[in-house]
Amino acid sequence: MTRLALAAALLALAIPAAAQAELAVGAQAPDFTAQSAMAGKVQSFNLRAALRRGPVVLYFFPKAFTQGCTLETRAFAEATPQFAAAHATVIGMSADDLPTLQRFSTEECRSKFAVAAATPAIVQSYDVAMKMDQIPAERRAQMPAGMTGRTSYVIAQNGRITMVHSNLDYRDHVRLTLEAVQALSHKH
């Protein structure tokens, strides 16, 4: 093996799993319909229908009412006017049950956007299951089964993924997705 190939292989191992995209940019986003909550009211969310109105920011978060997820969701709520100006729909998804998401939609989403229940099929199709090797060993036993990781997708109106950010640190998700939808807006 050449030194360059060896260096590339070592670099690939050094990159944390959290930085690797779950579905690739350019991939067709899997269509889905899910039960969701908006302002505490149960409704149905269909990706294809949302894409008719503009791009969709689909962000998966691990667990409602946890510190990082609450801060991320509040940041998305505060940025709602900027997303709306780019004609983008924001939808948060987690494996939480619908009653929890109903409460979360009013308390943390501030009734600005919907949050939906990510079924096992949706979690699998978007490849967003929590990667337990990213969690410190002492916390793994406390983690409920079926949790999603923290991954944000921007999906263009043609159904193609144009941006992916996968990182358990919530801080860059809103900024990066907003930049992506604004770039899409400027193309049209």
Mean pLDDT along residues 55-61: 98
User: Average pLDDT over the chain, rounded to whole?
Assistant: 87
Q: Write down how long the chain is.
A: 188
Among 1-10, 15-24, 52-61, 126-135, the range scoring the smallest mean pLDDT is: 1-10
What Å distances lie between residue 129 and 6, 23, 75, 147, CA to CA?
A: 30, 12, 23, 6
Domains and CATH numbers, the chain: 18-187 (3.40.30.10)
- The residues carrying an active-site annotation are 69
With a cut of 50, say whether residue 104 has pLDDT above it: yes
In this structure, the number of other CB atoms found within 10 A of the CB of residue 31 comes to 12
